[in-house]
């Protein structure tokens, strides 16, 4: 059975003080969470300090990025083994901000996917269309193409115990989320596409929605059959908002006991 997965992506925000305060509040607030999965993605600089506060908590750690190499002369990069060393469970790859600002393409993202699987971390593959593609009706083909590169290079098996996050680029940080009904259509097309290779992987894979999720709009996303959680940016930087989103997941009829 799929469980709702809520991830907070803190991006390039915070400092030692604000991150510590936020994590302490969340750990206390999420004490009773048992039916959904929750992870936070602090800036890499603060993964270690965050980890220490999460010791007896059900909140898991997510990295915002990973390099394609495990070690060597790659100044400034972070390896999947280093993340594993810090008990990181998930890593975001293919986020549109990295595709845009760092020119990461599908083939390069597939290498990140591969290295994460190799060390046993769970990739969260972000896919999604820009506004022009959305307006032209290319949403589903853009997402399928992004997923297809992984399937072609790594095989459908790579999606076992992996996560996909559908994040329309125009919805990220804009305050204008996709409509839950349209997001559902995209999620279903992704699941159907994976099912065309392997129905068991398709049934089990978690497909999150991301893009201007708030406590106010999140229930309608959870109500959709193929939406298995949310990837949250701005609202996850506010302890109240993020707690409300997680509590909504915990109370949702889709949530299952651990
Ligand atoms: C994101 O960057 O992944 C994201 C979903 O951001 P926001 O929630 O701020 O739109």
pLDDT per residue as tens digits for the range 171-189: 999 999 999 999 999 999 9
Structure confidence at residue 258 as a pLDDT band (50, 70, 90): low
Distance between Cα 71 and ligand 1 center (Å): 30
Residue range 22-30: mean pLDDT, rounded: 95
- Let me know: does 92 contact 65? Beta carbons within 8 Å: yes
Q: Is the dihedral of CA 77, 80, 81, 83 positive or negative?
A: positive
Contact 3, 31 (CB under 8 A): no
Burial class (CB in 10 A: 0-12, 13-18, 19+), 56: exposed
Active site residue 167: yes
Residue 257 has pLDDT above 70, yes or no: no
Q: Is 102 a catalytic residue?
A: no
The DSSP bridge partners found for residue 210 are 231
Whose CA is closest to 8, among 63, 56, 45, 49? 63
Q: Mean of the pLDDT values across residues 214-232?
A: 98
* Average per-residue pLDDT for the chain: 97
Residue 252 half-sphere exposure, CB side, CA atoms within 13 Å? 25
What is the spatial distance between Cα 231 and Cα 233, in angstroms, rounded to a whole number?
Answer: 7
- The pLDDT-based confidence of 31 (bands split at 50, 70, 90) is confident
CB 165 within 8 Å of CB 178: no
> Which listed residue (97, 129, 167, 187) is catalytic?
167
Torsion of CA 73, 42, 105, 121, to 10 degrees: 80
Tell me: pLDDT of 28 over 60: yes
Q: Token pair 């915070």 is at which residue?
A: 14
> For residue 231, which atom of ligand 1 is closest to its CA?
5
Instruction: Using only the alpha carbons of the chain, give its radius of gyration.
Output: 17
Query: For the packed helices 106-119 and 139-154, what is the interaxial angle rounded to 10 degrees?
Result: 50
Query: How much is the pTM?
Result: 0.97
* Residue 134 Cα to ligand 1 middle (Å): 17
Average pLDDT over residues 177-203: 98
Ligand 1 centroid, distance to 192 Cα (angstroms): 25
């Amino acid at each position: 059975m799929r469980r709702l997965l809520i991830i907070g992506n803190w991006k390039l925000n915070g400092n030692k003080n604000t991150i510590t305060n936020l994590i302490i509040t969340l750990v206390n607030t999420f004490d009773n969470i048992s039916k959904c999965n929750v992870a936070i993605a602090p800036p890499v600089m603060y993964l270690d300090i965050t980890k220490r506060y999460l010791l007896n908590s059900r909140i898991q750690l997510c990295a915002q990025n990973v390099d394609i190499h495990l070690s060597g002369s790659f100044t400034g990069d972070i390896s999947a083994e280093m993340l594993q060393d810090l008990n990181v469970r998930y890593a975001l790859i293919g986020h549109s901000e990295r595709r845009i600002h760092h020119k990461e393409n599908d083939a390069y993202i597939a290498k990140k996917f591969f290295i994460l699987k190799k060390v046993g971390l769970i990739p969260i593959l972000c896919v999604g269309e820009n506004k022009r593609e959305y307006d032209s009706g290319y949403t589903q083909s853009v997402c399928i193409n992004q997923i297809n590169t992984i399937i072609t290079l790594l095989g459908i098996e790579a999606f076992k115990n992996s996560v996909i996050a559908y994040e329309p680029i125009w919805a990220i940080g804009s305050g204008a989320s996709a409509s839950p009904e349209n997001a559902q259509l995209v999620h279903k097309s992704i699941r159907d596409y994976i099912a065309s290779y392997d129905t068991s992987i398709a049934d089990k894979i978690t497909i999150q929605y991301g893009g201007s999720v708030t406590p106010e709009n999140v229930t309608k996303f959870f109500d959709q059959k193929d939406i298995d959680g949310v990837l949250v940016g701005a609202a996850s930087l506010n302890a109240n908002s993020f707690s409300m989103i997680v509590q909504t997941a915990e109370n949702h009829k889709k949530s299952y006991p651990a």
